[in-house]
Each structure stands twice: as structure tokens, then as C-alpha cells.
């Protein structure tokens, strides 16, 4: 089934909210470190109104239904602008169908153009299938606070298909995704920092973002 892969837009807020609501609690916890049944308006604004430079996100749209079935984003690390954290979510009925792989390929086009050289992903030590697959992709692990931090180099640009001409940065891509290593990408591309905006001090740490980085890209007003 073909997918449209394109940059996220503010108008995707309702679709993203629907995708989140139709994803199991376990998927929300593992993919984006969140447990809320619904995203709050402030979180939807943060996740959709991105600057497409320090904070970029790609969405996967089912071409037949118009439904948002996956999203993958990176947020640049302020102290290391050549590095960015990954976060991803794929709705349950589209998992293991190559959505994450297709999203990563398109996201990496933008990362290369914006000077991002590597991604950081955080994986639990017991998630051995994800660890093995990410290592095959060229990542290097480092243990920290009981978790494994992986540095994954941004893939080099593929040779363009001369029959289709060069791809335009930011242009939607229609693809039939492959399932190779897709489950591992979904498991690994979650981030404690990139999932949602910082929560007020009075809120629980079991909401959509359990930790926050020292600095973030400026949120749109």
C-alpha cells in the first residue's frame, strides 16, 4: 500500500492526535515515552509547529485513506549541533510494514541538508533485537544510567534514480515501504527528550515526556 512521506505541518495536529489515540499504551511508552491517552493542545502545537531546521519531523500518510500512520522526528542537540535525538511513533496496525524505514530515509535527506551528521537513540538493554539491528546500521552503543545510548550516522545520500530525476528537498515522496529492520527502528527511535515539550513542575513524570533536555529549539508562539 503506497504511503506519502512529507514534512509535518501545523494542520496535521488533528491527524496526529487521532494517531496517538489509536496507538496502544505500550506503543506510546516504547516509541515516544508517553502514557497519556490523548495529547494536550500545547503538546500538539510543539509536535506539529516545528522550525524544520533544529526540529524536523516527517509524517507517513496512507494515500488511500488520508490517515496519518507514522511520524518520526529529530531535535538537534544544542551543545552539539551536528547531533540530533530521534523519536518515532507508528500506529499499531501499520507496524512491521516498513513505515519507520521509509520515514528515516526521508528524514535523513533533511538532516544531511541541515548539517546533522548523526542521530542519538536510547534503548533499554533488554531490547536485544533492536540493539542487534541498530548495530548492523552502523550505530555505536554507550551505557549511561542503565540504558544504552546509540549514535547512528546519518545515511549517505543514495544514487538518484535517473528515470525519476533528482528528488526535491521537502517534496512529498510516495513509497511502498520495506519491512527490513523496521521493527528495530521503531523500538530504538524513541527519545526521552524529543517526545514532547517540558511539563510544568506540578505535573506527573509519567506523562508524554519523562525528562527534558537542558535546552530546546524555541517553540512557535
Q: In what order do the strands lie in the sheet with 118-123?
A: 140-144, 147-153, 118-123, 80-90, 68-77, 55-62, 3-7, 173-175
C-alpha angle 124/128/130, rounded to 5°? 80
pLDDT at 129: 65
Closest CA to 43 of 186, 212, 174: 212
Q: Taking a C-beta distance cutoff of 8 angstroms, is the pair 92, 81 a contact? A: no
Q: Which segments of 10-139 are extended strands (E)? A: 55-62, 68-77, 80-90, 118-123
Q: Domain spanning 3-157+174-188: which CATH class is it, in words?
A: alpha beta
Residue closest to 196 by CA, chosen among 103, 71, 94: 71
End-to-end CA distance of the chain: 37
pLDDT at 105: 92
* pLDDT at position 118 over 60: yes
Residue 13: CB atoms within 10 Å:
18
Q: Express each pLDDT in 179-221 by its tens digit.
A: 555 554 554 455 444 544 544 333 222 222 223 233 344 444 4
What is the rounded distance in angstroms from the CA atom of residue 47 to the CA atom of residue 57? 8
pLDDT digits (tens, 9 = 90+) for 1-27: 689 999 999 999 999 999 998 888 776
pLDDT tens for 59-71 read: 999 999 999 999 9
Pick the closest to residue 208 from 68, 92, 87, 121 (CA basis).
87
Which range of 27-36, 102-111, 139-148 scores highest in mean pLDDT? It is 102-111
Give the model confidence (pLDDT) of 138-184 as tens digits.
787 899 888 889 988 998 765 444 333 433 445 566 665 555 555 54
Strand partners, 185: none
Amino acid at each position: 500500500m503506497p504511503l506519502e512521506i512529507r514534512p509535518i505541518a501545523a494542520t496535521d495536529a488533528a491527524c496526529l492526535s487521532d494517531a496517538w489515540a489509536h496507538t496502544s499504551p505500550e506503543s506510546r511508552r516504547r516509541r515516544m515515552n508517553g502514557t497519556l491517552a490523548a495529547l494536550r493542545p500545547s503538546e500538539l502545537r510543539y509536535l506539529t509547529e516545528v522550525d524544520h531546521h533544529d526540529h524536523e519531523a516527517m509524517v507517513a500518510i496512507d494515500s488511500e485513506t488520508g490517515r496519518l500512520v507514522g511520524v518520526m522526528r529529530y531535535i538537534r542537540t544544542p551543545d552539539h549541533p551536528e547531533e540530533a535525538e530521534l523519536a518515532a511513533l507508528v500506529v499499531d496496525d501499520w507496524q512491521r510494514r516498513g513505515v519507520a524505514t521509509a520515514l528515516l530515509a526521508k528524514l535523513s535527506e533533511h538532516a544531511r541538508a541541515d548539517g546533522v551528521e548523526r542521530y542519538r537513540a536510547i534503548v533499554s538493554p533488554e531490547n536485544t533485537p533492536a540493539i542487534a539491528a541498530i548495530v548492523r546500521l552502523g550505530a555505536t552503543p554507550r551505557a549511561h544510567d542503565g540504558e544504552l545510548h546509540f549514535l547512528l550516522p546519518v545515511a549517505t545520500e543514495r544514487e538518484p534514480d535517473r528515470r525519476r530525476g533528482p528528488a526535491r528537498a521537502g517534496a512529498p515522496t510516495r513509497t511502498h515501504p520495506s519491512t527490513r529492520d523496521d521493527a528495530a527502528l521503531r523500538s530504538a527511535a524513541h527519545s526521552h527528550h524529543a517526545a514532547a515539550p517540558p511539563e510544568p513542575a506540578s505535573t506527573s513524570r509519567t506523562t508524554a515526556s519523562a525528562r527534558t533536555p537542558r535546552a530546546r529549539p524555541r517553540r512557535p508562539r
